[in-house]
Structures are given as structure tokens and as C-alpha cells.
Amino acid sequence: MILHATLTLCLFINLCSGIVLTKWDFFSEIRSIKGAESSNKVTSSKASEENDASAVSYELNLGSYWLEKEWEDAQEQEFEEQHKSQGQLNCAMIPPVLAEKYEFLRYVDVFYGTEGGGHMFPGVTVPFGMCKMGVDVINSGSDAYSGYDPNGEVCGVSMLHESGTGGSPTYGVVSQLPMLAEDLSTVDIKSQIAFNRSKPDFGHIGYYQVNLYTGIKIEFSASARSGLYRYTFPVESGLSPVIMVNLTQHLHSYGRPWWTQNFDGGYIQVSSDMKSYQGKAYFSGGWSDPGTWSVSFYGVFDQPAKTIRAFHGSESYPGLRLNIGKSVNVNMGILFQFRKNAGVIKSHVGVSFSPHNGTIVAKDNLLNDYPSKAFFDFNNSVSNVIKRWDDEVFSKVVVNSEIEDPIILEKFYTSLYGAHFMPTDKSGKEAPWSTEEPYYDDWFTLWDTFRCLHPLINLFNKKRGADMVRSLIEIWRREGFMPDGRSAGRSGRTQGGSNSDIVLADAFIKGINSGIDWEDGLKAMQTNAEVIPPYIRDPIAPDSTNKFGRGALQDWLNYGYITRAFSRSVTRTMEYSYNDFALHVVAKGLGHDALAQRYLKRSSNWQKIWNFEALSDKYNYRGFVQPKDNKGNFYTEHYDPLSCFGCYWQDDEYEGKPIEYGWAVPHDILTLKAFIGSDEIFAQRLDDMFGLYGDGIADIGNEPSFLTPYLFNFINRQFRTSETIDYLIENKFLTGVKGLPGNSDAGAMQAWLWFGLTGFYPIAGTDIYLITSPKISYLELRFESGKITIQAYNLYKRTNPSNPFSRNVYIRELVVNGKQLPRNWLTHQELFEGFNRLEFFMTDVPTPWDAYGELPPSRGHIN
């Protein structure tokens, strides 16, 4: 619990005595829930029978669904030796029956990228699930962005998290924490309660385990909007099992306290039979927006508590079943004490963001996820999560693991897994308004994800892609602008352009149409392009709004570029150009030719900040993007093409140097080539960007340089693309907890990696894919639009017995549907409509197989 010295206005109602101590505005909600208390009891004869027969080990009657207890104990010592300092996927600990049925379980590392700045969420969720159930820690030495850290103390297991984000930690709310005590009066609630682990955490898809030094084992699984805890308490301790439900618990930002979340108040009510509880918590702050948001919850145990104790601030109250408070960061909640020999205790919790009748919706969410026949059935929960991942994601890819490099397969499957966490599906009653349209939240952020995550989603699940577009349009209908960043129903934090425009254009050009009103979609895009958003002060960059839209639009409309009157002038100029190209794509496709031409012309505005005379002291070429003033003169002070200085909100460039942003015109590389000069200089400048042949100027851990290593294709030197992508995959995208080169950014990094392994990469907002060398010798992609077979002949050299998976990096020949293709790009229609077969013939020497082929199109080039 979080303890702060604050002014507190509290309300306590003792339902047993009926004494009201003070009054507050939660009364309206309390009246509704008090009368409905009896209806909130969940009964299940099957659940009761299963509770009576609870076993400590995780088994099925028909065999080893979980490890036999004796075998599990024998493995624990080996596990601890291998992974002393970190949580880890240990394939030997995955239930054999599951590992045999679902091969991807052996390769998906749920702890991938959880350390080293990756900020990945390692807990349990389903694809795009609202519930992301995971462990929360404190005192780890750094902010726990997804709740998890291998160090520090466990302060709870909560229902809601985000994955791979920067900014500051978000959610970590609706929590439980088990402990042991003589009785509830001995629990010290005056300071935050947390426990060290006795061993590293373990998990696989659908299952997670935490072991506390107190001897308590926590296991949990989850579904879309609810989850299931299973606690194993040491009965030999002679102490009583206690479970704390901490209303206040949330992730805190110690590194960036100006962006931290705060608990503002709430309530928790325990049912008269002492088996269930419900409530609502209010929070404010965080990275996206300082406004208040709320979450409701409904929890139920598989057995009644023996007694309870409410705590509020430094005081506790035995038997109090309703605890309400309105204050900032006061610690409050309920302690549940169970019978001493309980051994195993299970608990379901459902959550809801619904603004109306939230606790009822939370309970409905729980019952929808876990119908009566599955209630408290831990085995069923785990298997259902795995099946959902298989149905929606992994069944769509087929490889032959017996002939492939296991390290590449781990990267392949793990990256695909990490690309399906966000945004979060909150359709239905979870939306902040009543609507028949889908609703997605937790866009963190489109600036990160538009380049390749959304193109990947559009391939794997066209309905998801369409629903996300519909959600963006509906947010525009309700709030006036589409978001770039958004969490807990609050838009905020636009880093550069209005990149929802590119998400819409990518879906449009690829035929993602189901249920989408594209005329409204174009209007939403035009709002970004033509309407100056209302000013909402951002202390980090107070020159313009960063909540939504194009905060520097006034300069864009006046000059065709952004001056230093606004922060991120270069980033915004480059991205507004790309955004306007996206409007051109949709307007043209809808038959609005004059409008399309207008935005096509505006998409060339990036050329206005290209300084042909700009020089770097380090390199012998000239020509870079450079900010201009309102008179058309280039700023010379505080400018270096090789530096973005702070690279943050108040600088000219965000997460990229001017030399990097010079490449950020994927819609018009043809003009960029003309500006740079010869193909030789173009190639030299690309080489300088990465460490294979150059100085490694570009940071592939930041999104502006995602497309850059593929740009060799635009001078028909695809072999250099293959070399560079191979270098980056081998040296920057590793396996394990520190495998990511930066924040996952909601799966953007994993999407980049997956495309690099597969052999093609999208230019977002266009129908073009650029070819690179596949890293898997045989792959089937089974999408709605058809099956694609990708086969790489002679991929493995097979010349070194000690390294049987040494690869031939270069393409000698590309054959598509039985015909040789001498160009290094494909259209979406060529690649994904109908049955297609791509055959790569690999070699160990650079081969100019595409030298005379047609260059990739620059769809935004103006002749």
C-alpha cells in the first residue's frame, strides 16, 4: 500500500451496525450496490466441488498437464542455477502435454525484453486483452513500467498493465497480495507491505508463478477482462493465510515524478458471506493526460474468509465491510483472513472501465470469461489462454522446427507474441460512451506503431485492423480529434505528426474495409490537417498542445514547414508531409481528385527544409534537413546534422538526428535521391547510418530509422539491404530479457523484427513491400486473403558441423509463383491476394540480382 502524508476526507460505513461516520459523494453508488449485494454472490456447485478437491500441484487426471510434484521439486534446483537473477522461460518446466500440442510454447519467451529498457510485460493476457495480469514490484532501483522487475520486492499482483512503453509507468491497479499472520491485528499497515522472492519468477503463455520468501506460491492466469489467482500457503507455518486487496496500489514513477499516477479515492465493499468483494478506484496523472479515470472490480474467493479488517491511512477497523475514502494516495483496502489449514486458495477478479454500473459490468466480464463450468478451474484458464493465442496468432504461421535455427525460431515466435498486446480491446460496455462501434484504448503510441505494427495487424487479422480504424474514427466523432497517444480513455502525448492518418491510409490501401465509413475517416484525417487543436498547456513543451491533432499546424498552413516557434520543428515538418501523403491516398481512392492533389502537393513540403549546403565536419557530403525561421532562413545556431541534442520534447528533432530524419520521406524517395546526388553517395550515406560498414549513426531502437536499412532497394542494391538487416538482427535484436535495443513501444520493435525475419517489410500507408533475405527456410502464412509460402533454398551453408545454422545472407534469385522476378519489391496485391509462393535462392556472395529491375515506386513523387 502507498502511504503519504496528505489531508484526508474519509467515509466509513459499518454495514453491521449501520453507523455512518461522515458523508461523501460515493453515496449514490453505495445505495445501488448495497441493495444488490445478494445478487453479487457467485455460486457454482462445480466450483465448490473443485475447491474441496484442490491439489497443490497443477495436474490433469489424464496425465502430466502440469509437472508431477516430485518431478517439479527435482527441477527447481536446476532452474535456480540457470536463472538466478531474472525471471525466465524454462522449456523443461512447460507442461509436456501443452508443449507437444502447441509447439510455439517452447519458443515464446514471455520475459523477452523485460530488462535493459525493453519494459515488456511478462504476465498473462490474451491478444489485445484488456486484462494484463502481472506482478508489481517496488524498491527495484528503477521504475517498473510494466510492473515487473527481477529485483525489488513484490507488492502485489494486479490486473491491469501496459507493455513495452516509455514515458512513465501506467496502471498496476486492482491488486491482491498474500501473506501470513497470527491474526489481522498483527499486520502492520502503517508502511508499504512487500515481500522478497525466494526464486526467480517463471512463466509461459497463459501461466505465471511467483514464489515469496514467506513460502507462499502465487500462480495466476487470465482472460480478456478478468483473471484467476491460485495461492499455495505453507500449512506447516501455523499461521493464517491473509490476502490483502489494496485499493490504492498503482505503479509509481520515481524517475519522472511529474508524470506519475496518483490514487484519488474509491471504495471497496465485502459481501455478507465474506466470499466476494467489489468496488471502484479513481486515479489521475500518468504520461498521457493528468485527468482522472476510474476502474471498477469484482472479486470472489473459492471459500469464505474467517474474518476481515479494513485499513485506511494508519488505522484499521476489524469487521468493517465497506471502506470509502477521498484523498490523494491514502493507503486503503481490506485484509481477508482465512482458516489456518486452507492450503490452497483461489480467487477470481473481473475489472471494468465502464463509466456506468462498473462493478456489475466487472462481474459480467468475469462470468463471460469464466462460465460456471470453468469457475476456479485453473487448468482450464491456462489452456484457454493458450488456445486463444493459437487461434488468433500462431495457427496462421507454419514452420518446420526440425530443420530451422532454434534461435531464429525463438525470435520469430516471441516477436509475433509481443506484437499482439496493444492497443487494448475495450469494445462494448468498456467504451467511455454508448456506441455500437468498436473501441480500442491504450494507443501507446501511434508515433511508434504506425510504421510496421499496424501493417502487421492488417495482415494477421483484417477484422482487428478494421475495428481499430473504426475506433479511431469514433474517438474523432466523440472528441473532435483522433489520438496519437491514449490510455484510460484519455488522449495525450503527440510526439510528432498526426500519425493516425497513416494508420487509416495503410488500412485503406490494403482493402481493410469491414464496417468502416471511409468518408468519415477522411473527414477525421482532414480535421488533423486543417483544424488547429485547442491549446492545452503541456509543461514539458508549452509552445503548443500535445494532446491530439497537429499542434504546430499554424506554421504548416502559413509557411509549409514548422519554425522554432514550435518544438520538434524538424520532426513535425517531416511527419506532417508524410501525414498529408496519407490524406492524398484516401482522398484519391474515394474519388476526391482535387482534394487528393492538394494533399499530394503539401506532402512535398519537407523539401522546403532541405538545405543543399548544410555540412557535417565528419563526412564529405552535404545536404541535410535543417529548421527554418519564418523568413525562410535556415537556423544556424544550435544546429548540427549529427546531433539532436536532447532529442526530446523541446528539441528540433524527437528521437532522431537531422541526418536520420532526412530519410523519413518513404512516400518520395525518388526526390530524396535527386537531392542527395549519385547512387554512390546515396549508398555511402546509408552505410554510415549503421555499424556494419559505418559509424552506426542511426539508432534502430528508435522508430524514425526503421525503414532506413531497406532503402538500398531504391538504388537496386538489395544485397546491401540483406547485409544490413542481417547485421541488425544478429547484433541489436538478441534473445533473452535484454534482447530488445530499446523500449518495445507497444510491440513496434517486435513487428520490425518479425518482418526482418520473414523477408519483406511494409512502407506504411502504401501498397509496397521491400524485399530482404528470409531467415527461415520454409514458412507458410495462412491469412484470410490466402496462403503464402516462403521458401529459401540453400539458406543454411551446412559446411560447419559446429554451426549447422550458419546462413547464406544473400539472394541470388527470386521466383514468385513460378516466374523469376528481377525487382526487389512487391505490391500488397501481388503478395497477399490468392495463393502465392515466394522462392528465394540464396548464396554466400553479394549478387546484383535486382540491378536491372524496376525501382520501388515513390507513390508521393510529383513529376
Give Rg (Cα) of the chain: 28
HEC string of 821-836?
CCCCEEEHHHHHCCCE
Per-residue pLDDT, 31: 39
Over the stretch 415-463, which tens digit does the pLDDT of each residue have?
999 999 999 999 999 999 999 999 999 999 999 999 999 999 999 999 9
Q: Give the three cell numbers for residue 31.
A: 445505495
- Output DSSP code: residue 442: -
Model confidence at 803, in pLDDT bands (50, 70, 90)?
Answer: confident
The answer to whether residue 715 scores a pLDDT higher than 60 is yes
Tell me the average pLDDT across 488-498.
97
Q: Is residue 419 within 8 Å of 456, Cβ to Cβ?
A: yes
Tell me the average pLDDT across 20-49.
37
Model confidence at 86, in pLDDT bands (50, 70, 90)?
Answer: low
The answer to whether residue 30 scores a pLDDT higher than 50 is no
Model confidence at 742, in pLDDT bands (50, 70, 90)?
Answer: very high
Q: Is residue 327 within 8 Å of 7, Cβ to Cβ?
A: yes
Tell me the average pLDDT across 765-773.
98
* Cis-peptide, bond into residue 445, ω within 30° of zero: yes
Per-residue pLDDT, 88: 60
Over the stretch 175-210, which tens digit does the pLDDT of each residue have?
999 999 999 999 999 989 999 999 999 999 999 999
Backbone φ and ψ of 165, nearest 5°: -90, 160
CA distance 66 to 90: 14
Tell me the average pLDDT across 623-636.
98
| CA 24 centroid distance within chain | 37
The answer to whether residue 81 scores a pLDDT higher than 50 is no
The answer to whether residue 629 scores a pLDDT higher than 50 is yes
Per-residue pLDDT, 785: 77
In one-letter notation, the amino acid at residue 17 is: S
Q: Is residue 344 within 8 Å of 20, Cβ to Cβ?
A: no
Per-residue pLDDT, 80: 39
Residue tagged 505494427 (cell numbers)? 453
H or E segment and range at residue 30 = helix 27-35
Average per-residue pLDDT in the chain? 90
H or E segment and range at residue 228 = strand 226-232
CA distance 675 to 623: 7
H or E segment and range at residue 486 = strand 486-487
Sign for the CA dihedral angle at 391, 393, 397, 401 comes to negative
The answer to whether residue 21 scores a pLDDT higher than 60 is no
The answer to whether residue 799 scores a pLDDT higher than 90 is no
Instruction: State the CB neighbour count (10 A cutoff) for residue 729.
Output: 19
Per-residue pLDDT, 798: 84
| CA angle, residues 623, 626, 630, in degrees to nearest 5 | 135
Model confidence at 93, in pLDDT bands (50, 70, 90)?
Answer: confident
Per-residue pLDDT, 95: 86
3-state DSSP assignment of residue 83? coil
Model confidence at 60, in pLDDT bands (50, 70, 90)?
Answer: very low
The answer to whether residue 821 scores a pLDDT higher than 70 is yes
- How many CA atoms are closer than 13 Å to the CA of 341, on its beta-carbon side? 1
3-state DSSP assignment of residue 572? helix
CA distances from 718 to 226, 663, 712, 795, 839 (A): 48, 17, 6, 17, 16
- Lowest-pLDDT range, 18-22, 35-39, 178-182, 823-827? 18-22
H or E segment and range at residue 669 = helix 669-676
Closest CA to 382 of 102, 624, 659: 102
Closest CA to 846 of 815, 795, 814, 810: 810
Per-residue pLDDT, 90: 65
Per-residue pLDDT, 800: 81
In one-letter notation, the amino acid at residue 712 is: F
CA distance 172 to 179: 19
Domains and CATH numbers, the chain: 8-394 (2.70.98.10), 433-732 (1.20.1610.10)
